[in-house]
Chain A
Amino acid sequence: MSDIRYLARFSWTERALHWVHASAFFVLLGSGLVLYVPSLSEFVSRRPLVKSVHIYTAVAWLAALVLIVLVADRRALSRTLRELDLFDDDDRQWLLGKRAPQGRFNAGQKLNFWLTAAFAVLFAVSGFLLWYGERDTRFRFASTILLHDGLMYAALVLLVGHLYLALIYPRTRHALRGITLGTVREGWAREHHPKWVEEQSAQDPDRARPTTTIR
């Protein structure tokens, strides 16, 4: 029986953005594969329905992301964005494969965020062009579908890595608790994100506010 302390790692807004993006991604991936892979298209058929699901999910996904940002604490969000943007010496060491102490996001997570965000923009633009190009062929470019498909493969690679670290790899999968419940074990945080733990307790003991549970 021990006293486990938890630290608040992700805000409501951050978690909502993550899960909106994640759930939309799975629906878009599933419906997109049915539209894309010939054997799946044959098996499922009902192409107009699947296509509508794909397109309306994309619209709902973008709308939900915008909506969350509009109602959220945007100052806190831009602080998070800044954290994600800036890489320090430790991050560079970490990217070179050396063990260096990390902040709330490690350098890999930062990169994953920006790649995912860039893919989202490109998916949206190429998806819009595919949809609109059907109606006005001046917007039908030979490379649009190549970009959309290529993004899918790239995003799939990121997703597989992300899922492995979040669900399977024993040392990192505790992070899943952070993105679902918001909090992580202090001991785990000290091991994986020591600079974040220090910053919190040093700067703003109030924000650190460890939640205590007895087990």
Chain B
Amino acid sequence: MSIDERQRDDLRPYGRRTFLAVVAGGLTSLWWGKPVWDRLAPALRPAADLLPSQVRQIVPSGWRIYTVAATMPVFNRRTWRLTIDGLVERPLNLSYEQLLALPRAEQVSDFHCVTGWSVKHVRWAGVRFADLLRAARPLPQAKALAFVSAERPYVDSLTLEEAYLKDAMLAYEMDGKPLSRPHGAPARVVIPEMYGYKNVKWVERISVAKAPLDGYWEVRGYDRDAWVGHSNGRV
């Protein structure tokens, strides 16, 4: 082939050009991908609505369900209890009804996962941590909260300062409905300023402590500093 290749003038390196163009387009999409997609997505919505609902359910619309155990905890309304203990004057054992009876807070906030996806404008309802802890009366040396999930061995913690941020809460409703099982029924932490791994699902115990502990993912290499940054999806 190489002998007559040199005499032929109709050969063009389309192969490598295709390769380079696709690679270049793909790599630069790390900058233009999201803004372009955000513009395109609303335009594509009418077309997506034509798809059968089964298909639409399969294709992720934002949320991805992360778990660490083999099965998700099952919520039983009658037997469920939320324990608040540790550095408190009065440890508590709240039933689901008692939790719902506490002052209700509502908010709309964005949710950012450290693995790269975000969901905008999520409607949450729940209890602010100050209201949740009031009856337990944290001791003066209390500085942090550890959240123990019914999904063993998931734990994570926040400093009291973080937990008292004005849009942090223990949420029991999402988008107008009681929290569903994949989203941590019946109650989960919501702290929009921090990545999802701090937003512990299936919370069954809140332990008040002197200092934050390393959570499930922090032990596995994630940053203790879970603040959502400006370079990574917040804008």
CB within 8 Å of B: which residues of A?
A: 35-39, 41-42, 45-48, 79, 83-89, 91, 110-111, 113-115, 117-119, 121-122, 125-126, 129-130, 133-138, 140-148, 150-151, 199, 203
- Whether B60 contacts A36 by the Cβ 8 Å rule is yes
Query: What per-residue 1/0 map shows which CB atoms of B7-26 lie under 8 Å from chain A?
Result: 01011111110110011001
CB contact between A146 and one of B37, B63, B65, B223 (< 8 Å): that residue: B37
Chain A neighbourhood of B59, CB < 8 A: 37
Q: Which residue of A lies closest to B58 (CB)?
A: A37
- Whether A130 contacts B15 by the Cβ 8 Å rule is no
- Nearest first, the 5 closest Cβ-Cβ pairs linking A and B are A143-B33, A145-B116, A118-B22, A85-B15, A142-B233
Count CB-based A-B contacts (< 8 Å).
157
| Distance to closest chain A CB from B122 (angstroms) | 15
Query: What per-residue 1/0 map shows which CB atoms of B99-142 lie under 8 Å from chain A?
Result: 00000000000000011111000000000000000000000000
| Distance to closest chain A CB from B199 (angstroms) | 15
CB contact between A140 and one of B26, B68, B116 (< 8 Å): that residue: B116
Chain A neighbourhood of B10, CB < 8 A: 88-89
- Contacts known (A134-B115, A138-B231); A38 close to B64, Cβ less than 8 A: yes
- Whether A118 contacts B16 by the Cβ 8 Å rule is no
Chain A neighbourhood of B229, CB < 8 A: 137-138, 140
- Whether B67 contacts A118 by the Cβ 8 Å rule is no
CA distance A192 to B66 in the complex (A): 49
- Whether A146 contacts B29 by the Cβ 8 Å rule is yes
Contact residues of B between 57 and 107, Cβ < 8 Å to A: 57-60, 63-72
Q: Which residue of A lies closest to B228 (CB)?
A: A137
CA distance A111 to B13 in the complex (A): 11
- Whether B8 contacts A88 by the Cβ 8 Å rule is yes
- Whether A87 contacts B14 by the Cβ 8 Å rule is yes
Known: A37-B58, A88-B11, A203-B3; 5 extra A-B contacts, CB below 8 A, are A45-B67, A45-B71, A125-B26, A137-B229, A138-B229
Q: How many B residues touch the partner, as a band? A: 35 or more
CA distance A126 to B8 in the complex (A): 39
- Contacts known (A41-B65, A134-B222); A118 close to B26, Cβ less than 8 A: yes
- Whether A140 contacts B232 by the Cβ 8 Å rule is yes
- Contacts known (A89-B10, A135-B223, A146-B37); A114 close to B18, Cβ less than 8 A: yes
A38, A87, A142, A143 — most chain B CB neighbours (10 Å): A142
- Contacts known (A118-B23, A118-B26, A142-B34); A83 close to B1, Cβ less than 8 A: yes
B221 located at the interface, meaning its Cβ lies under 8 Å from any Cβ of chain A in the complex: yes
- Whether B15 contacts A87 by the Cβ 8 Å rule is yes
CB contact between B70 and one of A46, A136, A145 (< 8 Å): that residue: A46
13 contacts between A and B (CB under 8 A): A38-B64, A91-B14, A115-B22, A117-B19, A118-B18, A133-B232, A134-B221, A142-B232, A143-B31, A145-B115, A146-B37, A148-B116, A151-B26
CA distance A154 to B40 in the complex (A): 17
B30 located at the interface, meaning its Cβ lies under 8 Å from any Cβ of chain A in the complex: yes
CA distance A37 to B65 in the complex (A): 8
- Whether A137 contacts B232 by the Cβ 8 Å rule is yes
- Whether B29 contacts A86 by the Cβ 8 Å rule is no
CA distance A89 to B33 in the complex (A): 35
CA distance A91 to B8 in the complex (A): 14
| Distance to closest chain B CB from A128 (angstroms) | 12
CA distance A136 to B37 in the complex (A): 25
Chain A neighbourhood of B118, CB < 8 A: 142
